[in-house]
Structures are given as C-alpha cells and as structure tokens.
C-alpha cells in the first residue's frame, strides 16, 4: 500500500516542481521519501534556498510558517493542518506581548518553536542548534528574555550565566521523559551513553553524556565510539541514527507513562503518506500569512541566519 503512495507522490512532486522537507521526528517512511530531512534550523535554511515552486513541509505548523516567511513567493503546504506544537501553544502572542512590553530594556530571543505572531515580537529567533551561540553573541551585560522553552532557557542560562527572564513553556514530549526509567535502562545497559535534547528537564540533562539538537545528537552518535545509546528525544530521530550506524544499538528513552516504550510527538505523527499525496494533489492546505506580520517575523529569523552564518554554524 505504501509503495503505491510513494510512487504517486514521486510523480506528482516531479510534475509540480515540489520539494518535500521532513523533520527528524517524522515517521520513517516519510523521512525516506523526503528530498531533505533535517532539524528545525536546517529545514528553515533549505526552505529559504529552494528553487522548487512548492514546499511540502512534513512537520508541524510553525515549521511551515517559518518556510513561508523565509520564502513568501513559494506555495508552502502543510499535509496535516492540525499538526501544532505544545511548546508553541505554551506561548500565546497576546500574553507574550504584555510580557515583552513590561520589560522594554530586554532583548527578546525566541525559539523557532513559536507562532509567526510571537516571532514578530522577537529580536532574534534561535533553534536548539544555535541557541547557545546566539545568546553568547550578545553583549555580556545585555538583559535577555528567552521564550518559550523553560528547559532550554534554563540550560543556556546555566551555561552562560547571563541575565535571562525565561518564559514558562515546555514541550509535552521532552517534559515527559522519566528519569527513573532512564536510569533503570542504564542499569540494564551500563555501557550505553545517554543522549538528550535540551528541551528535556534538568534532571535528565544532568545524567546525559551528550546534550544537543536533533542534528547534533545524530552527528554525535555517528562519530562517538560507544555502541549503545539511550536517546532522550522524540523517537523519530532513531531512524536516521540507525541508518547512519547500522551496527550500533539505539534505545528510545521511555516516558513517565509506563505503558509506552518511547516518546512520540502526537503532532508530528499526524503526517501520513496519504496526506502528503492529497496536499500535493490539491495544493492545500496552504500556509497563508499576513504580509506585515511576515515582514516583522522575517527580521528576527534573518538575524538568526546572519549570526549563524557569521559563526559558520550553517
């Protein structure tokens, strides 16, 4: 059945000069059909540079919005229109605007996992790949608002010792990892290294051997000498880890819910091959954004791109 969708998608994609960009948290079959698979920073960069007429964003809403902001002349399609993000939802634009207004002397750094309206209130966007370097690029005495992820914010604050006001948001996937169950797994596999995304809470980060964005964790798993890893981020990333290092063992870190062995993002997993086909065929659902909002949000994303280029991060 999947093969039929794959064949049809490939034909449509060619006929319409479309490109499929997929996040590492997508189902394996979707990662395999994509023209490019990456973390949120790499997806934004690809979306900005592509010559395709149509961008299908196999990911969540804020990723498709970012693609549209960076390349407004292109048609950007989101196969699952209800693919939101609990982290983006934890920072509503009206409440955030009040917070920013109450602290006019602060520079606002927001994670890419935000709505366009929040990005429009932001000075510099960041992703988990460059958050540390973006904060470090600011003068030492600069007061910083960091939103919306409290775990990433706390982690960066611990590393940099900067004055940071951190928004109290979190991602339901990374918040739900069970330290107890991770340590239990470590007992069973004492040779395993623990890899963790910085959206995980502090107790999980403390026991991690390596902390990084999805792209950084993937790279580490390829270059490191260990043979077994316990991976504390959304389980979709295991597909690329296993593909790149077939002889190694990757174990998904378990969540608090003892009936689940791994942690899936319910939004990312809404995308299916059929939905990709349907959206390409119908050229819908399409991301449509207000032009003024786009222009404001674009500024803060381009500042991230500039800093990242200067620091040779992209």
Residues within the interface to ligand SF4 (CB under 6 A): 25, 60, 85-87, 113, 171-173, 234, 265, 267-268
Contact at 8 Å (CB) between 44 and 67? Answer: yes
Site residues, ligand 13P (CB under 6 A): 39-40, 113, 127-129, 171, 199, 213-214
Q: State the nearest-atom distance from the C-beta of 25 to ligand SF4, in Å.
A: 6
Distance CA 164, CA 295 (A): 26
Distance CA 141, CA 248 (A): 44
Q: Which residues contact 173 (CB under 8 A, 6 or more apart)?
A: 86, 199, 233, 234, 263, 264, 265
Task: Report the length, in residues, of the chain.
Answer: 314
The one of ligand 13P, ligand SF4, none whose footprint includes residue 127, by CB under 5 to 8 A per kind, is ligand 13P
Q: Specify the residue, 113 or 221, whose C-beta has the smaller distance to ligand 13P.
A: 113
Q: Specify the residue, 220 or 267, whose C-beta has the smaller distance to ligand SF4.
A: 267
Give the 3-state secondary structure of residue 265. Answer: coil
Q: State the nearest-atom distance from the C-beta of 39 to ligand 13P, in Å.
A: 3
Q: Alpha carbon of 9 to those of 20, 56, 58: distances in Å? A: 10, 11, 13
The one of ligand SF4, ligand 13P, none whose footprint includes residue 16, by CB under 5 to 8 A per kind, is none
Q: Specify the residue, 5 or 27, whose C-beta has the smaller distance to ligand SF4.
A: 27
Q: Specify the residue, 5 or 70, whose C-beta has the smaller distance to ligand 13P.
A: 70
The one of ligand SF4, ligand 13P, none whose footprint includes residue 40, by CB under 5 to 8 A per kind, is ligand 13P
Q: State the nearest-atom distance from the C-beta of 281 to ligand SF4, in Å.
A: 25
Q: Specify the residue, 171 or 276, whose C-beta has the smaller distance to ligand 13P.
A: 171
Distance CA 244, CA 246 (A): 6
Distance CA 307, CA 78 (A): 28
Q: State the nearest-atom distance from the C-beta of 200 to ligand 13P, in Å.
A: 11
Q: Specify the residue, 221 or 233, whose C-beta has the smaller distance to ligand SF4.
A: 233
Q: Nearest Cα to 117, choosing from 268, 286, 287, 292?
A: 292
Q: State the nearest-atom distance from the C-beta of 28 to ligand SF4, in Å.
A: 16
The one of ligand SF4, ligand 13P, none whose footprint includes residue 175, by CB under 5 to 8 A per kind, is none
Contact at 8 Å (CB) between 252 and 271? Answer: no
Q: Which residues contact 52 (CB under 8 A, 6 or more apart)?
A: 17, 18, 19, 74
Q: State the nearest-atom distance from the C-beta of 89 to ligand SF4, in Å.
A: 8
């Amino acid at each position: 059945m999947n093969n039929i969708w794959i064949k049809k998608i490939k034909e449509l994609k060619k006929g319409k000069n479309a490109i499929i960009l997929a996040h590492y948290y997508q189902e394996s079959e979707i990662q395999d059909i994509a023209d490019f698979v990456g973390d949120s920073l790499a997806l934004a960069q690809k979306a900005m540079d592509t010559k395709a007429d149509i961008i299908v964003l196999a990911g969540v809403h804020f990723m498709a919005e970012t693609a549209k902001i960076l390349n407004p002349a292109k048609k950007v399609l989101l196969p699952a229109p209800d693919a939101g993000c609990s982290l983006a939802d934890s920072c509503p634009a009206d409440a955030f605007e009040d917070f920013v207004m109450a602290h006019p002397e602060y520079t606002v750094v927001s994670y890419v996992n935000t709505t366009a309206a929040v990005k429009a209130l932001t000075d510099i966007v960041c992703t988990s790949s460059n958050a540390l370097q973006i904060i470090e690029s600011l003068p030492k005495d600069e007061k910083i608002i960091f939103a919306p992820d409290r775990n990433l914010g706390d982690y960066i604050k611990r590393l940099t010792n900067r004055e940071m006001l951190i928004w109290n948001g979190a991602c339901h996937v990374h918040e739900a990892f069970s330290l107890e169950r991770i340590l239990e797994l470590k007992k069973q596999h004492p040779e395993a290294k623990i890899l963790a995304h910085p959206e995980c809470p502090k107790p999980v980060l403390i026991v991690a051997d390596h902390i990084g964005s999805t792209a950084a964790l993937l790279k580490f798993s390829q270059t490191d000498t260990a043979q077994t890893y316990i991976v504390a981020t959304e389980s979709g990333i295991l597909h690329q880890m296993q593909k790149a290092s077939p002889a190694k063992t990757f174990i998904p870190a378990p969540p608090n819910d003892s009936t689940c062995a791994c942690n899936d993002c319910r939004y990312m997993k809404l995308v299916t091959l059929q939905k990709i086909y349907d959206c390409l065929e119908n050229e819908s659902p399409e991301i449509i954004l207000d032009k003024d909002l786009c222009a404001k949000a674009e500024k803060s994303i381009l500042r991230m791109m500039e800093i990242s280029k200067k620091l040779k991060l992209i």
